[in-house]
Structure 1
């Protein structure tokens, strides 16, 4: 099976939203906020557009919980995938469901099958600094079909704040922290590594993302192309 991982793009997009009650520096939750991201292949050709919208946000006992609806279209505007993720913000940390690590293409393909999912949530602190190490995250999935079980894991490791950099996208120019990670996918006998970088801006979230092959060659990219409060 050929699987394209845009994992880090999806997970950061899922938490790239605007403030409510100052819960988070980078990605607090506020109902109605929406982001549009355009996905490109290694040659810069548009591969699709993803829209992220906060459809529900609540605040109780110092914790903010939100639901993000995600709709993805291909380069011709055809609907290819829709899903929702849950987020929470408490104290100095935003937490995203570990299920967001799973490739959207895979969830679409196996959505009607018996699936068991477990893992460790993704955490990103409110305060970032260059050189800072971030906690690993992972998800494991067991797929049952016709009496046969298949296991898959995705591990996000070596997470760190690499540098600060200004980035310009069609939505504007932003001062960003650059976060690096290695995304490891294991399924059956296949074991692949996809290094990734994401550019995070305060009060906006992700404005750019790049995924690479193991040798460092660019494989795909994602860029913020519209933003609405």
Structure 2
């Protein structure tokens, strides 16, 4: 069960990080006070929950902009089940997210009895995107001390590429997007290695507008759309 929760956390944030514009960011509104709400659905289109993001603490140092993204997740009944915050960094013409900052104590409090070490590389997204463009891979590794033994898990985000351009309509409006395809390759004890494809729709000045996740056989397992936007 704990392993499933860690994977869920990683999946949520590897997809939802694209919710954060400054002089160095073409796609993400790193503007203090900007807020976004996404609605989550399962593979059959049934409501699963909602995620609210709010941009705070924007600071500039030379050509680097850093902002904090506050996140609250509520289930389909409106009960808040997770709250967290993490940092975005925009440097030059690339936005980065620090995975270690996402795996904070609040999110991992259910593993209080376990010592967890998280390492990895940031996901990067440049301002200039064109169809067919390949993007850098990223990875996250977790080592959890289970009292006498260590559980190791690795999640690689691979085969990232700009797949196409597409217009998307959501309750928040109509958006011209680029579509980024990627695969999350997970390796866990007793589960082996599995690949989970996903697609993200990005709009300039907005960030993520839509996201779809699939199981290893290509069946849609969840989706998320932008339902509210305030800048």
Shorter-chain TM-score above 0.5 = yes
| Residue of structure 1 equivalent to 2:38 | 37
Q: For the residues of structure 2 that align with 1:55 and 1:101, how far apart are their CA atoms? A: 15
- The correspondence for 1:16, drawn from 9, 14, 19, is 19
Q: For the residues of structure 1 that align with 2:108 and 2:221, how far apart are their CA atoms? A: 21
Provide closer, same or farther for how the CA distance between residues 168 and 6 of structure 1 changes in structure 2, counting only shifts above 3 A.
Answer: farther
Q: For the residues of structure 2 that align with 1:83 and 1:213, how far apart are their CA atoms? A: 27
Q: For the residues of structure 2 that align with 1:42 and 1:174, how far apart are their CA atoms? A: 23
Question: Following superposition of structure 1 onto structure 2, how do residues 57-76 of structure 1 map, counting pairs within 5 Å?
Answer: 57-76=58-77
| Residue of structure 2 equivalent to 1:155 | 156
User: Is 2:137 aligned against 1:139?
Assistant: no
Provide closer, same or farther for how the CA distance between residues 166 and 150 of structure 1 changes in structure 2, counting only shifts above 3 A.
Answer: same
- The correspondence for 2:228, drawn from 205, 226, 229, is 226
Q: State the superposition RMSD in angstroms.
A: 2.0
- Displacement of 1:98: 2.5
- The correspondence for 1:200, drawn from 186, 199, 202, is 202
- Displacement of 1:186: 1.5
- Displacement of 1:13: 3.0
Q: For the residues of structure 2 that align with 1:107 and 1:208, how far apart are their CA atoms? A: 27
- Displacement of 1:192: 2.2
Q: For the residues of structure 2 that align with 1:116 and 1:165, how far apart are their CA atoms? A: 39
Q: For the residues of structure 2 that align with 1:77 and 1:194, how far apart are their CA atoms? A: 28
- Displacement of 1:11: 3.3
Count of residues in correspondence between the two structures? 224
Q: For the residues of structure 1 that align with 2:177 and 2:94, how far apart are their CA atoms? A: 18
Q: For the residues of structure 1 that align with 2:102 and 2:222, how far apart are their CA atoms? A: 17
Unaligned runs of 5+ residues in structure 1 are none
Does the Cα contact within 8 Å between 1:130 and 1:163 map onto a contact in 2?
A: yes
Q: Deviations over 1:67-86 (max 9, x none)?
A: 11111111111111111121
- Displacement of 1:184: 1.2
Q: Calculate the TM-score normalised by the size of structure 2.
A: 0.90
User: Is 2:171 aligned against 1:183?
Assistant: no
Q: Calculate the TM-score normalised by the size of structure 1.
A: 0.90
- Displacement of 1:111: 5.5
Does the Cα contact within 8 Å between 1:141 and 1:151 map onto a contact in 2?
A: yes
- Displacement of 1:92: 1.3
Q: Deviations over 1:43-71 (max 9, x none)?
A: 10010111111121100111001111111
Question: Following superposition of structure 1 onto structure 2, how do residues 99-118 of structure 1 map, counting pairs within 5 Å?
Answer: 99=100, 107=108, 109-110=110-111, 113-118=114-119
Runs of 4+ in 1 over 6 A off after TM superposition: none
| Residue of structure 2 equivalent to 1:84 | 85
- Displacement of 1:6: 7.2
